[in-house]
Chains A and B, each alone.
Chain A
Amino acid sequence: MSITTVVLAGVGGQGTILAGDVLAKVAVAEGHDVKLSEVHGMAQRGGSVETFVRFGERVFSPVVDPGVADHLIAFEETEAARTLTYLRPGGTLVVNRRTMASLPVLIGDLPAPTGLEEALFAEGAIFLDAEALACEAGSPRSANIVLMGAASYGLPFAVESWERVISGRVPLKTVDGNLRAFHLGRNACAEGACAL
Chain B
Amino acid sequence: MARTLMSGNEALARGAWEAGAVVGVGYPGTPSTEVLENLVNYDGVRCEWAPNEKVAAEVAGGVSLGGARTVVTMKHVGLNVAADALYSQSYTGVTGGLVYVVADDPGMHSSQNEQDTRNHGVGARIPVLEPSDSQEALEFIRSAFDLSERFDVPVIVRMTTRVSHGKGLVETGERHEVPVKPYQRDVPKNVMMPGNARLRLRHVNAREGDLAAYGAVAPENRAEYRDNALGVITSGIAYQYVREALPDASILKLGLTVPLPDALILEFSSKVERVVVVEEMDPYLSLRVRALGVQIDDVDLPRSGELSPRIIAAAFGQEPLATRAPVEGLPPRPPLLCPGCPHRGLFYSLGKVRAVVTGDIGCYTLGSLPPLKGMDSCVCMGASVGMAHGVALAGSTERPVVAVIGDSTFAHSGITGLLHMAYAGSHGTVVILDNRTTAMTGHQGNPVNGVFINGEAAPEVDLEALSYALGVASVRTVDPHQLDATLAVLREETVAEHLSVVISKAPCALLVKEAKDPFAVDEELCTKCGACIRLGCPAISRDETGRAVIDTATCVGCGQCVQVCRFDAIVGVGPSCDLGGGR
Contact = CB atoms under 8 A, between A and B. Distances in A.
Given A39-B161, A40-B165, A63-B241, A25 B5 contact: yes
A156 interface: no
Interface string B157-174: 000011001111100000
A119 B237 CA distance: 36
A62 to B, nearest CB: 4
B240 A108 contact: no
Contacts of B194: none
A84 B327 contact: yes
Interface in A15-54: 21, 24-25, 28, 33-48
A58 B294 CA distance: 33
Contacts of B3: 28
Contact of A45 (B243, B363, B542, B579): B363
Contacts of A89: 322-324
Interface string B336-365: 111000000000000000000000000100
Interface stretch (B177-185, B302-310, B395-403): B302-310
Given A40-B30, A61-B240, A28 B169 contact: yes
A170 interface: no
Contacts, number: 198
A191 to B, nearest CB: 23
Interface bracket on B: 35 or more
Interface string B569-583: 000000000111100
A172 interface: no
A89 B324 CA distance: 6
A63 B241 CA distance: 8
A154 to B, nearest CB: 18
Given A36-B166, A43-B110, A108-B542, A67 B322 contact: yes
Contact of A65 (B169, B310, B333): B310
User: Which of A45, A85, A88, A140 has the most CB atoms of chain B within a 10 A radius of its CB?
Assistant: A45
Contacts of B33: 40
A82 B330 contact: yes
Contact of A61 (B244, B329, B533): B244
A47 B110 CA distance: 12
A35 B534 CA distance: 42
Interface in A95-146: 98, 101-113, 116, 119, 123, 131-132, 134-135, 140-141, 143
A36 B170 CA distance: 13
Q: What secondary structure prevails in chain B residues at the interface with A?
A: loop
Given A41-B30, A62-B240, A46 B327 contact: no
Given A40-B30, A87-B324, A131 B581 contact: yes
Nearest to B307: A63
B548 to A, nearest CB: 10
A111 B544 CA distance: 11
B366 interface: yes
Given A61-B243, A131-B581, 17 more contacts: A35-B133, A36-B166, A41-B441, A42-B109, A43-B109, A45-B335, A45-B338, A46-B538, A61-B309, A62-B168, A63-B162, A68-B310, A82-B330, A88-B321, A103-B369, A106-B536, A110-B331
Interface of B: 3, 5, 30-31, 33-34, 109-110, 133, 161-162, 165-169, 237, 240-241, 243-244, 306, 308-311, 320-327, 329-338, 363, 366, 369-371, 440-442, 530, 533-534, 536-538, 540-542, 553, 578-581
26 contacts: A11-B333, A21-B167, A33-B169, A35-B168, A37-B167, A43-B335, A46-B538, A60-B240, A61-B241, A63-B162, A63-B241, A78-B330, A79-B333, A82-B330, A85-B325, A89-B322, A101-B541, A103-B370, A103-B538, A106-B536, A106-B541, A108-B533, A110-B331, A113-B330, A113-B331, A134-B581
